[in-house]
Amino acid sequence: MKVTGVKVTPYAFPPAGKPAGRHATSGSIVELMTDSGLTGIAIGADGAHTQIERLVGEMLVGADPRATSGLWRQMTDAQAAPNEGYASTTIAVLDVALWDLKSKANDEPLWKTLGGSRPRANAHGGGIAPTMSDHELVDWYRALSRDYGLRGATLVIGGDEDRDLARLEAMRTTLRQETTAATLIVDAEQRWAPDEAIRRLRTMERMFDVAWVEGATRSGDIPGLKQISDAIRGAVCVGRDLGTRAEFLPHFQDRSADVIELDIGVVGITGALELADAAYGFELPVTLAEAPGNIQAHLASVMPYFMSMEVVDPAARWPVFTSDVRIEAGWAIAGDAPGNGLAVDREALSAATRDGS
């Protein structure tokens, strides 16, 4: 089995009805084609098609897509600026497509090819756009907890302090209507200096039991994050925007993170598996950032210290593709469709391509 080429189809759709700020409103469908007729599918960023086409031409055409680990190494080794920025997301999206092919070649779902058991991955609600009104916020958390059973949710904070506290109270009250185990997560989006983070988080912790904080300060500030972790009760979560082993290493070594967040859109599936094993060595829990189609659920059961995965849209309303992962009673459950379970909706894609161009 050999890779013969790639087709990248950019799409765009309006953000209306999307309460979550992070959810991409544009992107591209990446289809890795082979001589066996199987196609590997992954969802990439918008505007990345030049890099993707070049990398496929240089590295993947003619290669056996089942060589996920070897090709990952070849792609990351070949980068002048190894695995950072665009290079990182380009390699990651191709790695996801290669794993899709590898599991399709086995005619089994990705979770099984990875060596997993049927994933029932603990899930939590992702970050909410600060632009949402308080009323919309409550409706949103109610939907997450009542309709999908999510026990944890994230609030983006870091603006006005009183407003943050009021909204956190609203989130807690709403979640508690459905569960006794409400998990409160906050994301300050790297806006604070360490001393400001400590002051604001300590104030918050006088009223709230915060499970973990994302973006407490800049992700490159190892001593600052360590200082925050030493000063607050909750866990400091780091990793969403880190792409390389070299970027994660100081956080492991200096314990500047208590929770490691991995984004398969940045570190790929292969990188996520490597980093999850390293995190396990340090007894650090792993959370998986949102991925289109929630396909990160496939990885949960092969990560020894998997903790939770982020879900931004439990209703799975992706306009141009469908996913075989569903959110139910607080768990993300992957189905039995071969590969990662993503399927392209051709009609919607062609409409979205037209609208976006």
Q: Is 158 in the site for other proteins (CB under 8 A)?
A: no
In the complex, least distance from residue 104 CB atom to other proteins, rounded to whole angstroms: 12
Q: Is 71 in the site for other proteins (CB under 8 A)?
A: yes
Q: Is 106 in the site for other proteins (CB under 8 A)?
A: yes
Q: Is 210 in the site for other proteins (CB under 8 A)?
A: no
Shorter beta-carbon distance to other proteins: residue 183 or 270: 270
Among residue numbers 284 through 303, which ones bind other proteins (CB under 8 A)? 301-302
Q: Is 116 in the site for other proteins (CB under 8 A)?
A: yes
Q: Which of 31, 46, 53, 64 binds other proteins (CB under 8 A)?
A: 64
Q: Is 212 in the site for other proteins (CB under 8 A)?
A: no
Number of residues that bind other proteins (CB under 8 A): 39
In the complex, least distance from residue 282 CB atom to other proteins, rounded to whole angstroms: 7
Among residue numbers 217 through 276, which ones bind other proteins (CB under 8 A)? 245-246, 248-249, 252-253, 270, 273-275
Shorter beta-carbon distance to other proteins: residue 154 or 301: 301
In the complex, least distance from residue 318 CB atom to other proteins, rounded to whole angstroms: 27
Q: Which of 5, 14, 57, 70 binds other proteins (CB under 8 A)?
A: 70
CA distances from 76 to 55, 84, 192, 270, 325 (A): 11, 9, 32, 11, 29
Q: Tell me which residues touch other proteins (CB under 8 A).
A: 63-64, 66-74, 102, 105-106, 108, 112-117, 245-246, 248-249, 252-253, 270, 273-275, 277-278, 280-282, 301-302, 304
